[in-house]
Amino acid sequence: MSGKVLVVEGGQWDRVTWDMAPFEPGKFFWRPSEVGPISIGSKKRINLRAPCRLDVGVLDYCALKTTGVPDYKAGEMSFAADAYTLVEIELIENPGITFEEQTERRLLIEHVVRLMSDVVNYRGGVAIKARSHGHHHVGFGSSAVLAESVAVGMNRLLGEPLTLRDLRNLVAYNFAEESDRQPGLLVPGASTGGSFNTMYHGGFVITSTECEMIFRMEMPEDTRFIVGVPQVKVAGPEGSEVDIDCLSWMRHNERFSAGKTSFWILTELLPACIQRDLRKMGAFFYNFALFSKLIPALLYRCDIPGILLELKESGLEGGWMSSAGPGLVAFTQSEEKVQRAVAVFERRGCKTVVLKPDNVGITELL
């Protein structure tokens, strides 16, 4: 990355430039064309609980763009699991945003609140209390789920002036990450809309072009996700080797692989999902992880491919690297295999957590 510009090259005829200039919260890259009226009733406060997102991967890395490039075709496959983000939002008379003392990721929250307030012409203020699950920059979708939960909460309190589709797109098309290098500013992120669809509906979700959810299934309740996080250095979008240095390599590789991914999804993954067969689903996930995410996995320099192969050899039905990593996920319906996966991760020096599927999605707590 040179200065405020990131150049990604997939070949001599495939070159894109991403504007990575930092900006203040509330900057618009996209606005919905239709907005309904605000309708504030007696309810001024809402408490929401949103599941985390475990990302299997992007359908087409060639189509992955940063915020500001109006071309959302990358897609995503992801699961909802029971590591939760909690958000409490209250409408108040005084304009501005009031944060509860321990609330983190305030810039992201401020960004969403300003977007929402501007779009629907809300002139009051909000008081916000938010608590994430604490797994940041390791593949749990913490930034996206927090921003999306705030958007959902505000929309409900204001009488749902935005449709669900426009609400999702407002967050995805204006998605941002906190700047590593300039405190108080945000930088363009890369969103597919998949985290919104997953945390909102729960289950296993496939998102495609223009952030549309094209498939969803409820996971068997006895499924367990075993997440192992290698203890390596992680960073945000400006400082991460995995997010930046390997994008050109991945784009070059994906010029030949995106069609294969789509074919496998149609002919292998979707039938397995309908049959609720975790072993068939998992076979696809292993294949996908080892050919589509091999380059970022290698750049962590902690033998992620080897860990995935060891999980496969140990009989775990499926395994993959979540998002840009370094978090690794295996799933099974066997308690004995859960212990096998934990043993593999611990032997490899990973911090381990076992999660259950969330088939409900974002929930209002009374």
Spatial contact of 130 and 109, defined as CB atoms under 8 Å apart: yes
Cα 337 to chain centroid distance, Å, stands at 27
Q: What is the pLDDT of residue 172?
A: 95
pLDDT tens digits along 335-353:
999 999 999 999 999 999 9
Q: What is the pLDDT of residue 13?
A: 66
Q: What is the pLDDT of residue 319?
A: 97
Of 132, 124, 125, nearest to 149 by C-alpha is 132
CATH fold label, 5-218+359-364: Ribosomal Protein S5; domain 2 (3.30.230)
Q: What is the pLDDT of residue 1?
A: 45
Strands 328-332 vs 224-230: parallel, antiparallel or unpaired: antiparallel
Token duo for residue 131: 């608590």
Instruction: Find tokens 């991760």 and name the residue.
Output: 345
Q: What is the pLDDT of residue 53?
A: 95
Token duo for residue 91: 């409408």
Tens-digit pLDDT string for the chain (366 aa) = 444 777 777 666 677 777 888 999 999 999 999 999 999 999 999 999 999 999 999 998 878 888 887 778 899 999 999 999 999 999 999 999 999 878 888 999 999 999 999 999 999 999 999 988 776 666 788 889 999 999 999 999 999 999 999 999 999 999 998 888 888 999 998 889 999 999 999 999 999 999 999 999 999 999 999 999 998 876 655 555 455 557 777 777 777 777 888 899 999 999 999 999 999 999 999 999 988 888 888 888 899 999 999 999 999 999 999 988 789 999 999 999 999 999 999 999 999 999 999 999 999 998
Q: pTM of the full predicted structure?
A: 0.93
Q: How far is the C-alpha of 29 from the C-alpha of 315, rounded, in Å?
A: 46
Spatial contact of 161 and 155, defined as CB atoms under 8 Å apart: yes
- Domain residue extents for the chain: 5-218+359-364, 224-355
Residue 220 has what DSSP assignment?
Answer: P
**Residues across the chain:** 366
Spatial CB neighbours of 339, under 8 Å, sequence gap ≥ 6: none
Spatial contact of 286 and 308, defined as CB atoms under 8 Å apart: yes
Architecture of the domain delimited by 224-355: 2-Layer Sandwich (3.30)
Spatial contact of 203 and 357, defined as CB atoms under 8 Å apart: yes
pLDDT tens digits along 266-283:
999 999 999 999 999 999
Q: What is the pLDDT of residue 260?
A: 84
Question: Can you name the residues that pair with 147 across neighbouring β-strands?
Answer: none
CA 249, 250, 255, 260 dihedral sign is positive
Burial of 35 (0-12, 13-18, 19+ CB in 10 A): middle
